[in-house]
Structure 1
Amino acid sequence: MSVHEELTSVQRCLDDLCRSVGRLERQMGSGGLDIRRVRTDADHLRESVALLREAASAAGALRRPDLVAIPDTPYDTTLWTDSDDEGLGARDRHAP
Protein backbone atom coordinates (compact mmCIF):
# COMPACT_ATOMS: atom_id res chain seq x y z
CA MET A 1 0.00 0.00 0.00
CA SER A 2 1.11 3.51 -0.65
CA VAL A 3 1.48 6.09 2.10
CA HIS A 4 -1.64 7.87 0.86
CA GLU A 5 -3.69 4.66 1.06
CA GLU A 6 -2.35 3.90 4.55
CA LEU A 7 -3.22 7.39 5.78
CA THR A 8 -6.71 7.06 4.30
CA SER A 9 -7.14 3.76 6.13
CA VAL A 10 -5.99 5.33 9.39
CA GLN A 11 -8.38 8.23 8.83
CA ARG A 12 -11.30 5.81 8.38
CA CYS A 13 -10.39 4.03 11.60
CA LEU A 14 -10.17 7.35 13.44
CA ASP A 15 -13.60 8.32 12.12
CA ASP A 16 -14.96 5.03 13.51
CA LEU A 17 -13.21 5.70 16.82
CA CYS A 18 -14.69 9.20 17.08
CA ARG A 19 -18.18 7.85 16.36
CA SER A 20 -17.72 5.20 19.06
CA VAL A 21 -16.47 7.78 21.55
CA GLY A 22 -19.50 9.93 20.72
CA ARG A 23 -21.82 7.01 21.49
CA LEU A 24 -19.99 6.38 24.77
CA GLU A 25 -20.35 10.04 25.68
CA ARG A 26 -24.10 9.85 25.13
CA GLN A 27 -24.37 6.70 27.24
CA MET A 28 -22.02 7.69 30.08
CA GLY A 29 -22.36 11.46 30.00
CA SER A 30 -19.66 13.85 28.86
CA GLY A 31 -18.81 15.24 32.29
CA GLY A 32 -16.55 12.45 33.53
CA LEU A 33 -12.79 12.84 33.50
CA ASP A 34 -12.23 9.47 31.82
CA ILE A 35 -14.50 10.11 28.84
CA ARG A 36 -13.11 13.63 28.41
CA ARG A 37 -9.60 12.16 28.37
CA VAL A 38 -10.61 9.63 25.70
CA ARG A 39 -12.25 12.39 23.62
CA THR A 40 -9.11 14.56 23.93
CA ASP A 41 -6.86 11.64 22.95
CA ALA A 42 -9.01 10.89 19.91
CA ASP A 43 -8.85 14.56 18.88
CA HIS A 44 -5.06 14.54 19.29
CA LEU A 45 -4.84 11.46 17.08
CA ARG A 46 -6.93 13.23 14.44
CA GLU A 47 -4.58 16.24 14.56
CA SER A 48 -1.52 13.99 14.36
CA VAL A 49 -2.85 12.22 11.27
CA ALA A 50 -3.53 15.59 9.66
CA LEU A 51 0.09 16.57 10.33
CA LEU A 52 1.26 13.27 8.83
CA ARG A 53 -0.79 13.96 5.71
CA GLU A 54 0.85 17.37 5.34
CA ALA A 55 4.31 15.89 5.87
CA ALA A 56 3.65 13.11 3.36
CA SER A 57 2.44 15.55 0.71
CA ALA A 58 5.46 17.80 1.34
CA ALA A 59 7.82 14.82 1.14
CA GLY A 60 6.20 13.76 -2.13
CA ALA A 61 6.80 17.21 -3.52
CA LEU A 62 10.43 17.19 -2.38
CA ARG A 63 11.22 13.79 -3.85
CA ARG A 64 10.85 14.99 -7.41
CA PRO A 65 13.21 17.91 -7.91
CA ASP A 66 13.57 19.57 -11.26
CA LEU A 67 16.65 18.41 -13.10
CA VAL A 68 19.13 21.04 -14.18
CA ALA A 69 21.13 20.31 -17.29
CA ILE A 70 24.84 21.12 -16.94
CA PRO A 71 26.52 21.61 -20.30
CA ASP A 72 29.77 19.84 -21.17
CA THR A 73 31.21 22.94 -22.80
CA PRO A 74 34.01 24.72 -20.90
CA TYR A 75 33.12 27.73 -18.79
CA ASP A 76 34.02 31.21 -19.91
CA THR A 77 37.50 31.87 -18.45
CA THR A 78 36.79 35.59 -18.11
CA LEU A 79 34.60 34.71 -15.14
CA TRP A 80 37.75 34.00 -13.10
CA THR A 81 40.10 36.80 -14.14
CA ASP A 82 39.82 38.57 -10.78
CA SER A 83 40.16 35.49 -8.59
CA ASP A 84 43.12 33.59 -7.21
CA ASP A 85 43.85 29.95 -7.94
CA GLU A 86 42.26 28.10 -5.08
CA GLY A 87 44.79 26.67 -2.68
CA LEU A 88 47.79 28.20 -4.49
CA GLY A 89 47.54 31.82 -3.43
CA ALA A 90 47.96 34.80 -5.70
CA ARG A 91 49.81 34.36 -9.01
CA ASP A 92 52.55 36.87 -8.21
CA ARG A 93 53.31 35.41 -4.76
CA HIS A 94 54.83 32.14 -3.60
CA ALA A 95 52.81 29.54 -1.76
CA PRO A 96 53.81 29.05 1.89
Structure 2
Amino acid sequence: MSVHDELTSVQRCLDDLTRYVSRLEQQMGSGGVDIRRVRADCDHLRESVALLRESAAAPGTARRPELVTISDAPYDSALWTDTDDEGLGARNRHAP
Protein backbone atom coordinates (compact mmCIF):
# COMPACT_ATOMS: atom_id res chain seq x y z
CA MET A 1 0.00 0.00 0.00
CA SER A 2 1.10 3.53 -0.65
CA VAL A 3 1.53 6.13 2.06
CA HIS A 4 -1.63 7.85 0.87
CA ASP A 5 -3.60 4.61 1.18
CA GLU A 6 -2.20 3.97 4.64
CA LEU A 7 -3.09 7.47 5.80
CA THR A 8 -6.60 7.08 4.40
CA SER A 9 -6.96 3.83 6.32
CA VAL A 10 -5.72 5.47 9.51
CA GLN A 11 -8.17 8.34 8.99
CA ARG A 12 -11.05 5.88 8.56
CA CYS A 13 -10.10 4.08 11.77
CA LEU A 14 -9.79 7.39 13.58
CA ASP A 15 -13.26 8.41 12.35
CA ASP A 16 -14.63 5.12 13.71
CA LEU A 17 -12.88 5.70 17.01
CA THR A 18 -14.34 9.19 17.26
CA ARG A 19 -17.85 7.81 16.64
CA TYR A 20 -17.40 5.16 19.33
CA VAL A 21 -16.10 7.71 21.81
CA SER A 22 -19.13 9.91 21.07
CA ARG A 23 -21.42 6.97 21.81
CA LEU A 24 -19.60 6.31 25.06
CA GLU A 25 -19.97 9.96 26.01
CA GLN A 26 -23.71 9.71 25.47
CA GLN A 27 -23.93 6.59 27.62
CA MET A 28 -21.52 7.61 30.38
CA GLY A 29 -21.90 11.37 30.33
CA SER A 30 -19.24 13.80 29.23
CA GLY A 31 -18.38 15.14 32.68
CA GLY A 32 -16.00 12.38 33.74
CA VAL A 33 -12.26 12.90 33.69
CA ASP A 34 -11.62 9.60 31.93
CA ILE A 35 -13.96 10.23 29.01
CA ARG A 36 -12.62 13.77 28.60
CA ARG A 37 -9.09 12.34 28.50
CA VAL A 38 -10.09 9.86 25.79
CA ARG A 39 -11.77 12.66 23.82
CA ALA A 40 -8.62 14.79 24.11
CA ASP A 41 -6.49 11.84 22.97
CA CYS A 42 -8.74 11.40 19.92
CA ASP A 43 -8.36 15.09 19.10
CA HIS A 44 -4.58 14.85 19.43
CA LEU A 45 -4.52 11.81 17.15
CA ARG A 46 -6.61 13.71 14.59
CA GLU A 47 -4.11 16.60 14.68
CA SER A 48 -1.17 14.21 14.36
CA VAL A 49 -2.68 12.48 11.33
CA ALA A 50 -3.30 15.88 9.74
CA LEU A 51 0.38 16.74 10.23
CA LEU A 52 1.37 13.41 8.69
CA ARG A 53 -0.85 14.14 5.70
CA GLU A 54 0.83 17.52 5.24
CA SER A 55 4.31 16.05 5.36
CA ALA A 56 3.32 13.22 2.99
CA ALA A 57 1.86 15.73 0.51
CA ALA A 58 5.30 17.30 0.07
CA PRO A 59 7.62 14.26 -0.15
CA GLY A 60 10.72 16.27 -1.05
CA THR A 61 10.42 18.42 2.05
CA ALA A 62 10.40 15.73 4.71
CA ARG A 63 11.80 17.19 7.87
CA ARG A 64 14.83 15.39 9.23
CA PRO A 65 16.36 16.37 12.52
CA GLU A 66 19.36 18.59 12.11
CA LEU A 67 22.54 16.94 13.37
CA VAL A 68 24.65 18.87 15.82
CA THR A 69 28.37 18.23 15.98
CA ILE A 70 29.83 18.20 19.47
CA SER A 71 33.53 18.90 19.70
CA ASP A 72 35.86 16.53 21.54
CA ALA A 73 37.96 19.47 22.72
CA PRO A 74 37.93 20.00 26.49
CA TYR A 75 35.68 22.71 27.86
CA ASP A 76 37.13 25.95 29.16
CA SER A 77 37.59 25.46 32.90
CA ALA A 78 36.46 29.06 33.50
CA LEU A 79 32.94 27.88 32.74
CA TRP A 80 32.93 25.91 35.97
CA THR A 81 34.28 28.47 38.44
CA ASP A 82 31.97 29.93 41.07
CA THR A 83 29.29 27.36 40.40
CA ASP A 84 27.36 25.18 42.78
CA ASP A 85 27.66 21.46 42.57
CA GLU A 86 24.07 20.43 42.17
CA GLY A 87 22.86 18.84 45.37
CA LEU A 88 26.18 19.44 47.16
CA GLY A 89 26.08 23.18 47.71
CA ALA A 90 28.68 25.80 46.94
CA ARG A 91 32.40 25.24 47.44
CA ASN A 92 34.02 26.34 50.70
CA ARG A 93 30.69 26.44 52.50
CA HIS A 94 29.41 24.07 55.13
CA ALA A 95 26.01 22.49 55.33
CA PRO A 96 23.69 23.98 57.95
Fold similarity call, TM over 0.5: yes
What is the CA-CA distance between 1:45 and the residue it aligns to?
A: 0.3
Aligned twin of 2:31: 31
Of all paired residues, the percent bearing the same amino acid is 79
Q: What RMSD in Å do the two structures reach over aligned CA positions?
A: 1.0
Q: How far apart in 2 are the matches of 1:18 and 1:10?
A: 12
Q: Secondary structure at the match of 2:30?
A: coil
Q: Secondary structure at the match of 1:31?
A: coil
Structure number with higher relative contact order (C-alpha < 8 Å, ≥ 6 residues apart): 1
Aligned twin of 1:54: 54
- Unmatched runs of 5 consecutive residues or more in structure 2: 62-96
Aligned twin of 1:3: 3
Q: How far apart in 1 are the matches of 2:58 and 2:25?
A: 36
Structure 1 residues 15-94: aligned runs within 5 Å: 15-59=15-59, 62=60
TM-score for the superposition, normalised by structure 2: 0.62
Q: How far apart in 1 are the matches of 2:43 and 2:2?
A: 25
Q: How far apart in 2 are the matches of 1:35 and 1:54?
A: 29
TM-score for the superposition, normalised by structure 1: 0.62
The structure 1 segments of at least 4 consecutive aligned residues displaced by more than 6 Å after TM superposition are none
Q: How far apart in 2 are the matches of 1:56 and 1:6?
A: 11
Q: How far apart in 2 are the matches of 1:10 and 1:30?
A: 25
What is the CA-CA distance between 1:58 and the residue it aligns to?
A: 1.2
- Unmatched runs of 5 consecutive residues or more in structure 1: 64-96
